[in-house]
Homo-oligomer: A and B are copies of this chain.
C-alpha cells in the first residue's frame, strides 16, 4: 500500500436518511417570535419556509427520509471520498492517524449543496417560484444557485459586501447558474437602507444579509427564504457527510478519538460530528469533539449563551444560542463563511452539555496550516477549512508530544479555488490577525434582548 489511502463508497451506500440529533438530545429551548418574545409555532414560519422544512425543523424523529429526487442529485458527487492524510502525517512526524472527509468535490466546491438541493426540492414541491437568501464567502449562494437552477426556482442572493468585493468570481459563478447576486447592505430593502443610512461604508455581515433576504421573503407572497446554516433542518441535511464518514471509518477499521470541524453557523461541523455525538449520547464510544472558530468572531469561546435575534434587523426569530449579539459586526477577515454573530442552537446546547471543546485561531496560523496541508496532500483548502486543518494539525502535534497515536478525523469542507486572493495576501504578508473591537462586543452583548423564557 502506498501513500494514497482513499475510502470510497458505492452509490447505493449513500445514506437513505438524514440523522436528526434532536431525537437524542434534551428538549431544546423554544424559538421565540422576534416581535412578541413568545414561543412560535410552525404557522409563524410559513411565510418564510415550505411546511416540509418547518416540520423537519421541529421534528423529533431520529431518521428523516431523503427523497429519491434529492438522492438522485446527490449522486452527481456523492459519496465523497474520505482520505487518510499519510503524507501530512509523515511531514508532521506524528504517531497520530489523520483522516479527512473531503467535500470539495461537489459542483460548487463545498458541503453546501448537501442542504441546497433538498431545500430547493421542498420549495419546488410546495410550488415556490423564488427564493431569497444571504451568503458570506459565496459558497452557500452559489450552491443554492446551482440547486435552484436544477429545480427551476429563481434565486436572489444578498452577499456580504466585504466578500462580494473580495470574491467577484463567486458572484460570477452564481450568475453562471442563473442567479442574481447583490452586495449587502443594499438599497433594495428597508433593512439594507437603514444600515446604509447609519453606516454608508458598512462592509456588511451575515446578520445584515439575513435581514435583507428575510425581508424580501416576508414582503413577497411568491418568495420564500432559505438559510445555509444555523437552523436544525440545515444541520440535519449535512449529516449525510458524517454518516458516510462513519461507514468509511469502519472500512478503515478505525474509530475517531478526536473530531475536528470549523464553525461559522455550524453546518459543516454538525454534518461531520452529529452522527458521532449522537452515537455517544446513545451510549456509544466516547469521542473528543473540537470546534474551531475564528478569533475575530469567537462565538463559542467569547459569546454568551442567551436568546438573541438571528439577524441584525430583528426580523428573524429569536433562538437560544452562543452569540456575540446581533449588532456585532466582525472585522473583514478572509473566512467569510465564519463571520456569523451566533452559533446554531443545537451546537450551542451541546456545548452547554459539555459535549465539545471550542478553540479560536487567528487567520495567519490557519493559512500556514492550509499551505502545509496543500503541499503535503495536494488539495488547497478554503479559508474556512484551514481552521479545521489548523485544529487537526495541532491535535496531531499534541499526540507527538505525548507519544500517543490517536485517530483524528476532520472535515475538509471545501477547496480554496475561489479564495486564492487570500493565499496571495497571506504569502505577501498582508493578512492581518485582527481582533474584534472589545467595546463593540460589550455593547452588542449589552443589547441582547431580555426575554421571559429565560
Q: How far is the CA of A149 from the CA of B88 in the complex (A)?
A: 13
Per-position 1/0 for A58-90, Cβ under 8 A of B: 000000000011011101100000010001000
> Given that A2-B69, A2-B72 are contacting pairs, would A173 and B380 also be in contact in the complex, using a CB cutoff of 8 Å?
yes
- Of B175, B378, B417, the residue contacting A417 (CB under 8 A) is B417
Beta-carbon contact of A378 and B11 below 8 Å: no
Stretch of A41-49, A203-211, A404-412, A421-429 with 4 or more beta carbons under 8 angstroms from chain B: A421-429
Beta-carbon contact of B107 and A379 below 8 Å: yes
* Interface assignment of A25: CB less than 8 Å from any CB of chain B: no
* Those of A204-260 within 8 Å (CB) of chain B: none
Query: What 12 new A-B contacts, CB under 8 Å, besides A150-B378, A173-B423?
Result: A2-B72, A3-B72, A6-B11, A6-B76, A8-B11, A76-B83, A146-B378, A149-B378, A176-B371, A176-B374, A176-B420, A178-B375
- Of B75, B379, B420, the residue contacting A6 (CB under 8 A) is B75
Beta-carbon contact of B76 and A173 below 8 Å: no
* Interface assignment of A418: CB less than 8 Å from any CB of chain B: yes
A residues with CB within 8 A of B: 2-4, 6, 8, 11, 68-69, 71-73, 75-76, 83, 87, 105, 107, 109, 146, 149-150, 168-169, 172-173, 175-178, 371, 374-375, 378-380, 417-418, 420-421, 423-424, 427
Beta-carbon contact of B417 and A109 below 8 Å: yes
Beta-carbon contact of A76 and B4 below 8 Å: yes
A288 to chain B, nearest CB (A): 28
**Interface residue SS majority, chain A:** helix
- Of B4, B146, B421, the residue contacting A75 (CB under 8 A) is B4
> Given that A2-B69, A146-B378, A150-B378 are contacting pairs, would A176 and B423 also be in contact in the complex, using a CB cutoff of 8 Å?
yes
Beta-carbon contact of A150 and B87 below 8 Å: yes
- Of B107, B168, B172, B424, the residue contacting A172 (CB under 8 A) is B424
What are 5 A-B pairs at a CB distance below 8 A? Answer: A2-B69, A2-B75, A76-B378, A87-B150, A177-B378
Q: How far is the CA of A91 from the CA of B171 in the complex (A)?
A: 24
A112 to chain B, nearest CB (A): 13
Beta-carbon contact of A420 and B4 below 8 Å: no
Beta-carbon contact of A177 and B420 below 8 Å: no
The residue in chain B whose Cβ has the minimal distance to the Cβ of A416 is B176
- Of B68, B150, B420, the residue contacting A169 (CB under 8 A) is B420
Beta-carbon contact of B73 and A4 below 8 Å: yes
Contacting residues, chain B, for A3 (C-beta < 8 A): 72-73
- Of B150, B417, B427, the residue contacting A418 (CB under 8 A) is B417
Contacting residues, chain B, for A146 (C-beta < 8 A): 378
Contacting residues, chain B, for A421 (C-beta < 8 A): 169, 172
Contacting residues, chain B, for A176 (C-beta < 8 A): 371, 374-375, 380, 420, 423
The residue in chain B whose Cβ has the minimal distance to the Cβ of A167 is B420
Q: How far is the CA of A68 from the CA of B4 in the complex (A)?
A: 11
The residue in chain B whose Cβ has the minimal distance to the Cβ of A419 is B169
- Of B76, B177, B380, the residue contacting A374 (CB under 8 A) is B177
Contacting residues, chain B, for A420 (C-beta < 8 A): 168-169, 172-173, 176, 418
> Given that A375-B178, A418-B417 are contacting pairs, would A2 and B107 also be in contact in the complex, using a CB cutoff of 8 Å?
no
A115 to chain B, nearest CB (A): 15
Contacting residues, chain B, for A423 (C-beta < 8 A): 172-173, 175-176
A175 to chain B, nearest CB (A): 6
The residue in chain B whose Cβ has the minimal distance to the Cβ of A169 is B420
A191 to chain B, nearest CB (A): 28
Q: How far is the CA of A268 from the CA of B381 in the complex (A)?
A: 26
Contacting residues, chain B, for A379 (C-beta < 8 A): 107
Q: How far is the CA of A172 from the CA of B374 in the complex (A)?
A: 12
Contacting residues, chain B, for A371 (C-beta < 8 A): 176
Contacting residues, chain B, for A2 (C-beta < 8 A): 68-69, 71-73, 75
- Of B4, B83, B427, the residue contacting A175 (CB under 8 A) is B427
